[in-house]
Chain A
Amino acid sequence: MLLCVDGYHVNSISKTDIFINSDSLIESYDTDWLGNGMYFWDNMSNARYWANEKKRKDGVNCLRLVKGIIILDSILDLTDNDIVTMVDEIWATYVKKRSLCPNKPSGSKLNWIFSFFDGFSDKYKVIKAHGSYKNAKLAHFFVEKTCYLDSRIKTIYCVRCKSKVVEREVVEVINYE
């Protein structure tokens, strides 16, 4: 059985046009999060949250929410502590041998690992992680002191290979005017 998940992405009309009408990705050259790739949310409300953040920070008036099915057969799952511990050990070994400062943003470390090891990009084409957005609003349903559930944790997928996003479609245009 092929594991898949719906992925949601918010961007400008022109960029999402390219995503919908070709097989290419809207790639971010990121160093702070999961490195280079196209970023997706795992649900529509998180995508809309991000649209509102773009509006607040950049003052954009019009965005478009698009969707694709992300194929998870070659995933680097950084929500799994066994996996992330191993990745961290690789990084720690590298910086120790080269006498470098170990403190680099996660995206830089991942970009380095993907470049350094031959075949890493063939093995892993999608990265999954949880982002902690503590300044996002906690859902009222979870505010009780005895509640350990949290709506401010958002699942992020970073897709590094265009063939891993299929059945692309426009969900909606978000117009702030």
Chain B
Amino acid sequence: MNKIKSLQYLEECLLKIRQMSSDEICLQEERTGANIVLSSESIDKYDFDVLFSSTYSSYDMNFIGGQYSKDTKDNDDKPMPNSILNTIYYAA
């Protein structure tokens, strides 16, 4: 899928949710399980692991990387996916 098609699809999603009422969004969340996805976010990661271990045969709860603040560097992952960085290709 190229960028234009991707943007078109995302626009469709945006239009769809804009046209939905709050009640319709709730119904859609219940139907798709999206409400559970968000509520599980507050569960401790290790509980989450146990919660899903019966459903999935393989899983990996390790972080893929971490950004550490100086005062909490061994305790806390501070992820920072970043959109203000630009990749540059230079063809010589």
Contacts and interface: CB of A to CB of B under 8 A. Distances in A.
Contact of B85 (A54, A113, A150): A150
A172 B69 CA distance: 31
Interface residues of A, number: 68
B13 A78 contact: no
Given A29-B49, A30-B64, A77-B3, A132 B82 contact: yes
A11 B82 contact: no
Contacts of B28: 116
Give 9 nearest A-B pairs by CB, closest first: A39-B64, A115-B34, A132-B82, A116-B34, A86-B10, A108-B41, A32-B79, A129-B81, A111-B37
7 contacts: A27-B59, A83-B3, A87-B10, A94-B25, A112-B37, A131-B81, A133-B67
Interface of B: 1, 3, 6-7, 9-11, 13-14, 16-18, 20-22, 25-26, 28-29, 32-34, 37-38, 40-41, 45, 48-49, 52, 56-68, 70, 73-74, 77, 79-83, 85, 87-88
